[in-house]
């Protein structure tokens, strides 16, 4: 291969082979090596050991001609696989398609090529998690059934990795504590799928296992929700008391108010008044503090004292974390909004339009930040408006940035500096004004470049 060809492949390997990893249930799993152990079915087939003539030249051209357009790259790589179905680089190409399809909000493409890749690497936790996420976005019964199956396989794969890590002659210090959030998160994810499918007994069992592995207020709240749906108010009250009294260092006031509402409603249904509820909460708090004091003493509060917005960890409406640190180096556009804010509905729709216009711009990222004090109406609102932009709760980020009016649009440059802020919405000029400023920031050179 020519020197230029070697350089092209080095860049491709760095971008798509080495650094690609996804967050999986609270932790990160690196992608397996490009050459995984062959499965029995593969052993029977002829193993390809060298590229066909012109194969690597064609693949290099597929990347170069896409010109950083992810949709064009997907199309080019699909054409490449049609031309070279047994390519020496097949796994790398499939991984790249899956990664680009995920980034460009194309779950159907992710599922199609992810299924092919899964035949080659059936125990890959990163890939399984990616496929689960794509199926969750489909939101139909058959997709949920597949996601449940993949979640079961993911649990087995992660348990296997944990066992391998524990069997090392010198296991990493604190390893059990590091695996617990991952496993608990996967159980909670499968439980939510069961719950959405109406399989409440299975959902209850998985939420219980999630809480057993790593007790959290969120898991206790989910247990209360399932018990309430089953009509077991006594058990629902017990779970909600645990969720409300849970001694978290960084509990979100808005979320605590929502748990308080659920607890109060269930308790009144059971006892016809709130008499005795305060004593029950205090007793549960003392019990939990005694049980979990050591754990919380060693865990720093999540956002407490942080002054850099990109150090914040926010929460999505489904309870999953969103780490703003993952967006460092990108141009970040945030829309601060609330369900009770009439103009926010219009601004959100126009914000979606801007995001769609920049869908192929990989250096730009968009986030709708909800600041409702009472979050109970947020999921129904999002379902009604049908936004596709990522959504997270503010959790103090709005106070840090001094957001005083809604809606407020904020643009951060690649260095994390606020370079544009706008309050309110002008329907005639909103899209044009925001796109103008966004293009200006995107055209600025990245740090260290001229």
* DSSP 8-class letter at 106: -
Would residue 364 count as lying in a domain?
yes
| CA dist 166 → 27, 31, 122, 124, 185 (Å) | 17, 20, 22, 19, 20
Tracing tokens 């890749």 back to the chain, one arrives at: 117
* CATH at 63: 1.25.40
Contact 104, 24 (CB under 8 A): no
| CA dist 203 → 23, 223, 425 (Å) | 23, 9, 42
Q: What is the DSSP string of 187-231?
A: HHHHHHHHHHTT-HHHHHHHHHHHHHHS--HHHHHHHHHHHHHTT
pLDDT in tens, the chain (450 residues): 444 444 344 444 434 433 333 333 334 343 333 333 333 333 333 445 567 778 989 999 999 998 877 788 999 999 999 999 999 899 999 999 998 887 677 889 999 999 999 999 998 998 998 899 889 888 799 999 999 999 999 999 999 988 887 777 755 554 556 788 889 989 999 999 999 999 999 999 999 999 999 999 999 999 999 999 999 999 999 999 999 999 876 677 778 889 999 999 999 999 999 999 999 999 999 999 988 877 766 555 567 778 899 999 999 998 888 999 999 999 999 999 999 888 999 999 999 999 999 998 989 999 999 998 878 889 989 988 999 999 999 988 998 898 888 999 999 999 999 999 999 998 889 999 999 999 999 987 655 554
Q: Which residue, of 256, 275, 301, is where some domain finishes?
A: 301
Would residue 202 count as lying in a domain?
no
Would residue 236 count as lying in a domain?
yes
| CA dist 126 → 83, 187, 288, 387, 388 (Å) | 28, 16, 34, 26, 23
Would residue 413 count as lying in a domain?
yes
Whether residues 322 and 229 fall in one domain: no
Q: Which residue, of 301, 320, 343, is where some domain finishes?
A: 301
For the chain, what is the domain count?
A: 3
Would residue 155 count as lying in a domain?
no
Whether residues 261 and 288 fall in one domain: yes
Whether residues 132 and 221 fall in one domain: no
Whether residues 9 and 89 fall in one domain: yes
Tracing tokens 């400023």 back to the chain, one arrives at: 437
Whether residues 240 and 261 fall in one domain: yes
Cα–Cα dist 148/128, whole Å: 11
* CATH at 357: 3.40.30.10
Would residue 98 count as lying in a domain?
yes
Would residue 122 count as lying in a domain?
yes
Whether residues 291 and 314 fall in one domain: no
Q: Which residue, of 138, 171, 195, is where some domain finishes?
A: 138
CB atoms within 10 A of CB 253: 10
Q: What is the pTM of this model?
A: 0.65
Would residue 186 count as lying in a domain?
no
Cα–Cα dist 197/147, whole Å: 11
Whether residues 14 and 59 fall in one domain: yes
Whether residues 427 and 401 fall in one domain: yes
Cα–Cα dist 190/155, whole Å: 10
Cα–Cα dist 11/13, whole Å: 5
* Residue 312 in tokens: 């914040």
Whether residues 276 and 390 fall in one domain: no
356 lies in which domain range? 310-442
* Residue 324 in tokens: 């703003």
Whether residues 315 and 361 fall in one domain: yes
331: enclosing H helix or E strand = strand 331-337
Beta pairing class for 313-315 and 321-323: antiparallel
Whether residues 38 and 126 fall in one domain: yes
Helices (H) and strands (E) in the chain, counts: 18, 9
Whether residues 322 and 240 fall in one domain: no
């Amino acid at each position: 291969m020519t020197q230029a060809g070697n350089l092209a492949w080095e860049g491709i390997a760095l971008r798509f082979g080495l650094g690609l990893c996804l967050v999986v249930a609270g932790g990160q799993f690196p992608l397996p090596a490009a050459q995984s152990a062959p499965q029995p079915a593969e052993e029977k087939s002829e193993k390809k050991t060298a590229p066909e003539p012109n194969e690597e030249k064609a693949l290099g051209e597929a990347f170069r001609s896409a010109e950083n357009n992810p949709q064009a790259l997907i199309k080019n790589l699909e054409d490449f696989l049609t031309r070279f179905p047994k390519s020496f680089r097949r796994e790398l190409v499939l991984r790249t398609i899956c990664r680009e399809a995920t980034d460009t909000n194309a779950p159907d493409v992710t599922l199609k090529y992810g299924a092919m890749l899964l035949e080659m690497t059936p125990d890959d936790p990163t890939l399984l998690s990616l496929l689960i996420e794509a199926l969750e976005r489909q939101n139909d019964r058959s997709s949920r059934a597949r996601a449940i199956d993949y979640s079961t396989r993911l649990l087995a794969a992660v348990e296997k990795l944990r066992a391998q890590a524990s069997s090392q002659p010198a296991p990493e210090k604190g390893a059990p504590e590091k695996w617990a959030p991952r496993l608990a998160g996967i159980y909670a994810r499968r439980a939510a799928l069961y719950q959405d499918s109406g399989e409440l007994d299975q959902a209850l069992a998985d939420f219980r296992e999630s809480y057993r592995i790593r007790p959290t207020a969120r898991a206790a709240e989910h247990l209360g929700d399932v018990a309430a749906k089953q009509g077991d108010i006594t058990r629902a009250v017990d779970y909600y008391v645990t969720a409300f009294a849970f001694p978290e260092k960084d509990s979100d006031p808005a979320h605590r108010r929502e748990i308080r509402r659920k607890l109060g409603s269930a308790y009144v249904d059971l006892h016809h008044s709130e008499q005795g509820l305060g004593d029950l909460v205090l007793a549960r708090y003392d019990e939990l503090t005694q049980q979990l004091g050591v754990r919380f003493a060693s865990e720093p509060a999540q956002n407490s004292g942080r002054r850099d917005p990109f150090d914040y960890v926010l929460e999505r409406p489904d309870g999953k974390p969103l780490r703003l640190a993952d967006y460092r180096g990108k141009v970040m556009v945030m829309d601060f909004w609330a369900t009770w804010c009439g103009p926010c509905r219009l601004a959100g729709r126009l914000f979606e339009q801007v995001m769609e216009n920049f869908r192929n711009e990989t250096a730009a990222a968009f986030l709708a930040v909800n600041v409702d004090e009472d979050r109970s109406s947020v999921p129904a609102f999002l379902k009604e408006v049908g936004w596709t932009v990522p959504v997270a709760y503010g959790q103090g980020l709005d106070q840090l940035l001094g957001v005083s009016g809604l809606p407020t649009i904020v643009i951060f440059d690649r260095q994390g500096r606020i370079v544009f802020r706008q309050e309110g919405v002008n329907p005639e000029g909103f899209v044009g004004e925001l796109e103008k400023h966004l293009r200006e920031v995107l055209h600025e050179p990245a740090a260290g470049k001229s």
